[in-house]
Amino acid sequence: MPRHIITEEDILKYREEGYHIFPQVIPPSLLTDLRREGAKAQEIAYRVNGPQAQRIYPLSDYSDELDMTPFKDFTQIDGIDEAIKELTSSRHYLKPTEGAGFLFQPRDRPWSTEWHRDWRDHVLDKDFEEHVGAERWQAILEDSNFFNQVNCPLYEDTSTWYVPGSHRRVENTADEMEVYCSTTQEELMDEESLKSDEELELFCLRYCQSMPGAVQLVLNPGDFCIYRNTGWHIGNYVPYRRRMTLHTHAMTPEFLEFATKYRYLLKPREAALERHAKLASA
Ligand SMILES: O=C(O)CCC(=O)C(=O)O
């Protein structure tokens, strides 16, 4: 990739806003190879997880059907490691892509995730208090060695929305919580088929737009977006907008240790139900 000049302003902005886009990191021949394997991975995702599947993860689970070479080559793109390190620190490295995944558009109907902040929103309160607690969580939010997620689209991708600056706050604002509790994952997936496709599409879009300060990320093919996923973010999907986006992380030894140690605490559905119940009784 062309050498990316990272300025002091980029570094400061990444710390404060929580996201940065390196334009066009994937060379054309690798883009060709990744799209070819991505198309196979997408068919596997629908076959394994059904037509509304959003992702395949990890790619290495499907090494008998996919050629892993382009994924290995992606991790080795000339200049990418240096650019990540300059933006963050010398401790950061790109996770091997075979252990990462792809995000896809649904085949049949629109849907969106809930607005959420990893990882806090995916664990139950009692587990959080027992194993981490607000003080340690604040230190983790301030520490860019933790939670640096990457979306690298192979086709133009406008599915992800993000609230700049929210990644370092333990507490959410009242306005943010009002948007959060205005709906549920079940409604955003229209599990009971109560809406037409257009009603559902516009419902999900309005939910994205209503979050205070939210920006829609506009990523072109081969752009590399790194973001602190402790900030509010969401994925909003429609079948007519093709999506094939590599979804990975810039790791550090301490984040690897944290993620591995506490993986068993992740209970996204139960944690969302708990938050909704708490907000309803407040
Ligand atoms: O689709 C995206 O870009 C975001 C996905 C995400 O945050 C999630 O699945 O939890």
Q: Is residue 278 scored above 90 in pLDDT?
A: no
State if residue 230 touches ligand 1 by the CB under 6 angstroms criterion.
no
Three-state DSSP class for residue 35: helix
**Rounded CA gap, 188 and 38, in Å?**
26
| pLDDT tens column, 9-67 | 999 999 999 999 999 999 999 999 999 999 999 999 999 999 999 999 999 999 999 99
Query: Residues 189-212: what's their mean pLDDT?
Result: 97
State if residue 42 touches ligand 1 by the CB under 6 angstroms criterion.
no
Average pLDDT, the chain: 96
Say what the pLDDT of residue 241 is. 98
Q: What is the pTM of this model?
A: 0.96
Q: Which residues, at least 6 apart from 222, have a Cβ–Cβ distance to it below 8 Å?
A: 23, 24, 25, 26, 31, 152, 153, 154
Q: How confident is residue 279, by pLDDT bands cut at 50, 70 and 90?
A: confident
Q: Is residue 2 scored above 70 in pLDDT?
A: no
Q: Choose the residue to mutate in 19, 49, 54 for probing ligand 1, maximizing ligand atoms within 8 Å of C-beta.
A: 54
Dist. CA 205 → ligand 1 center (Å): 15
Query: Residues 258-276: what's their mean pLDDT?
Result: 94
Say what the pLDDT of residue 1 is. 54
Dist. CA 226 → ligand 1 center (Å): 13
Dist. CA 92 → ligand 1 center (Å): 22
State if residue 159 touches ligand 1 by the CB under 6 angstroms criterion.
yes
Domains and CATH numbers, the chain: 8-281 (2.60.120.620)
